[in-house]
């Protein structure tokens, strides 16, 4: 009986701790159709060792309109299974179609 309770508590803890987060940075420039979508960027030790720099200059010559980072359920699950040593993230860069409106 105690083993099944311990297993249930572990599953509940992993489900709760593997939550999702999402943040967005908007530059104010109009959005274009081009996007850079990188679903499994490698981040280590809870983000203390960040993923590689996203080189957007060639894809987005007008600049960046929006930058989003998501931490999906699967990203969180992988992070919790590796004791947050490997913590993947999902960044998306939306290119700008022109300069920032003033």
Query: What pTM was estimated for this model as a whole?
Result: 0.72
Q: Is the pLDDT of residue 4 over 80?
A: no
pLDDT tier at 101, thresholds 50, 70, 90 = low
Q: Residue 71 pairs with which residues in a beta bridge?
A: 21
DSSP string, the chain: -HHHHHHHHHHHHHHHHT--EEEEEE-SSPEEEEEEE-TTB--BTTTTBPPPPP--TTT-TT-EEEEEEEE-HHHHHHHHHTTTSB--BEEEEEEESSPPP-
11-46 residues labelled b (16+ CB within 10 A) or e (exposed): eeeeeeebeeeeeeeeeebebbebebebeebebeee
> 95 is written with which tokens?
């290119």
Domain range summary for the chain, segments of one domain joined by +: 2-96
pLDDT at site 71: 84
Per-residue confidence (pLDDT) for residue 52, from 0 to 100: 92
54 versus 17: the higher-pLDDT residue is 54
The per-residue pLDDT for range 25-81, each reduced to its tens digit, is: 999 899 999 999 998 999 999 888 989 999 999 999 999 999 999 988 888 889 889
């Amino acid at each position: 009986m105690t083993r099944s309770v311990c297993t249930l508590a572990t599953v509940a803890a992993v489900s709760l701790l593997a939550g999702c987060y999402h943040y967005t940075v908007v530059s104010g420039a109009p959005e274009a159709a081009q996007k850079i979508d990188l679903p499994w960027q490698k981040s280590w030790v809870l983000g203390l060792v960040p993923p590689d720099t996203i080189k957007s200059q060639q894809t987005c010559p007008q600049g960046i309109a929006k930058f989003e980072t998501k931490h999906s359920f699967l990203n969180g699950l992988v992070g919790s299974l590796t004791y947050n040593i490997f913590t993947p993230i999902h960044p998306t860069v939306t290119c700008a179609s022109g300069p920032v409106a003033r």
